[in-house]
Structure 1
Amino acid sequence: MNILVRGSARTALVSVRALLILTMILGIGYTLLVTGAARILAPDRADGSRLYAADGSLVGSSLIGQSFTDAEGAPLPGYFQPRPSAAGDGYDGAASAGTNAGPENQDLIDAISERRALIAALNDVDPEAVPADAVTASGSGLDPHISPAYADLQIERVARERNASPDDIRDLVENHTRGRDLGFIGEPTVDVVSLNLALDQQLSAASQSEHPGG
């Protein structure tokens, strides 16, 4: 009996030692190694791809979308609008989710029809010109990207609201358009959060050039 007890105690001790050693190596050491390598090779991505305003304040991440609306939830016409989000109240990282509704779900069909009409009216275009990503949420509800077609649809409105040249706004869109991965995987996308930040920075720079005295 004593032999069995001693054997069981020895086995338990060896297991605890192995757990502690592997935790130190794989749980702590490996994590620190990967984090350190990421900070050296890609410091921006390692820190969450953060976006900062001209004054240095943190405004978000290029990996997570945002809503560009007023206090009543109406879209701000001077900004590019993202696709809808089903994550909490919109782009909530703690409630990432899609609608999980099928294409024959009547609530989803009604929501898409309503969104299409609102987007068409906002941009003064025919409802048939509104692309699919403008009226449907992504699977995560956090996607910051829209299609180049949806971005192009909004250029005239944004330019008009900001008293800017459509060509200048179009150049900004092109600068924030990412092509297919490896040239053939996926579709081109436009990061709305980064694009709208660039719009604000452009407006601020233009204002300073017109009023250099402050």
Structure 2
Amino acid sequence: MKTNLFPAIKLTIVTLLFFGVVYPTIVWAIAQLAPNKGQGEVISADGKRYYVNIGQAFTEDRFFNSRPSAVSYNAAGSGGSNKAPSNKEYLAVVKARIDTFLVHNPGIDRKDIPVELVTASGSGLDPDISRKAALIQVKRIAALRTVNEDKIRQIVESHTEKPLLGMFGPGKVNVLSLNLALGKL
């Protein structure tokens, strides 16, 4: 028993020290080199502070819609719905989101709706949508703001981030930055 118990206790202590002290300290030290010391990118607008890297809820039709969130954009408890694409309850939620999108965006075909506008991300905190998801909302926003659609498209284009190194991942648009730019019109 002693031959197994003492090595197990030693391994437990070493593992606790490494993963409870050493590893977190290394991650913290690396984060201090990042912008804003690893606290996330913060924007101040209209006297409020917003985290750019955390999704926000935009429900008014005059703003670009964010990707839905399974956790109501609560960064303290990120997570997805954990329901399979074949789950009847999940399918009903997605169908309701599609129907709502179509009501607020008349003239759009169901098949043209980008998937990220009706499905939540794995974390529920995704701050970005695709360029296509932003452009499909231009007509609605331009009509409600009585602004030329080309002006709104220019804002989308100027806020589109290219893929990493031009080849890794898709282009994306930060919804918060986009909506703050709309506010300056």
Query: Normalised by the size of structure 1, how large is the TM-score?
Result: 0.70
State the aligned residue count: 166
Match runs of 1:172-187 below 5 Å: 172-187=155-170
> 2:171 corresponds to which residue?
188
Deviations 1:139-198 (A, max 9, x none): 000001111111111001111111111111111111111121122211111110111011
User: Matched residues in 1 for 2:25 and 2:166: separation?
Assistant: 37
Give, in whole Å, the separation in 2 of the partners of 1:68 and 1:120: 17
Residue from 34, 43, 53 that aligns with 1:51: 43
Query: RCO greater where, 1 or 2, for CA within 8 Å and sep 6 or more?
Result: 2
Instruction: Give the letter for the 1:84 counterpart.
Output: P
Partner of 2:104: 122
Q: In 2, Cα distance between the equivalents of 1:32 and 1:183? A: 29
Say whether the 8 Å CA contact 2:31–2:38 is kept in structure 1: no
1:143 aligns with 2:135: no
Counterpart in 1 of 2:95?
A: 113
Q: Distance in 1 between matches of 2:67 and 2:24?
A: 38
CA–CA distance in structure 1, aligned partners of residues 74 and 114 of structure 2:
24
In the alignment, the residues of structure 2 paired with residue 95 and residue 85 of structure 1 have an alpha-carbon distance, to the nearest angstrom, of: 11
Q: SS state of the match for residue 187, structure 1?
A: coil
Residues 66, 129 of structure 2: 8 Å contact kept = yes
Q: Amino acid of the residue matched to residue 84 of structure 2? A: G
Aligned alpha-carbon RMSD (Å)? 2.4
Question: Alpha-carbon deviations, 1:89-108, whole Å to 9, x = none?
Answer: x1001110101111111111
The equivalent position to 2:64 in structure 1, one of 73, 80, 86, is 80
Larger Rg: 1
SS of residue in 2 equivalent to 1:173: helix
Q: Could you tell me whether the CA contact under 8 Å between 1:50 and 1:58 is conserved in 2?
A: no
Could you say what secondary structure the match of 1:119 adopts?
Answer: helix
In structure 2, list runs of 5 or more residues that go unmatched. Answer: 1-12
Distance 1:46 1:34 in 2: 5
The Cα of 1:58 is off from its aligned counterpart by 2.9
Q: Following the alignment from structure 2 to structure 1, what is the Cα–Cα distance between the partners of residues 115 and 31?
A: 39
Query: Structure 1 residues 199, 106: CA separation in 2 closer, same or farther (over 3 Å shift)?
Result: same
TM-score (norm 2): 0.80
**Match of 2:178, as an amino acid?**
L
Equivalent residues of 1:67, 1:82 under 8 A apart: yes
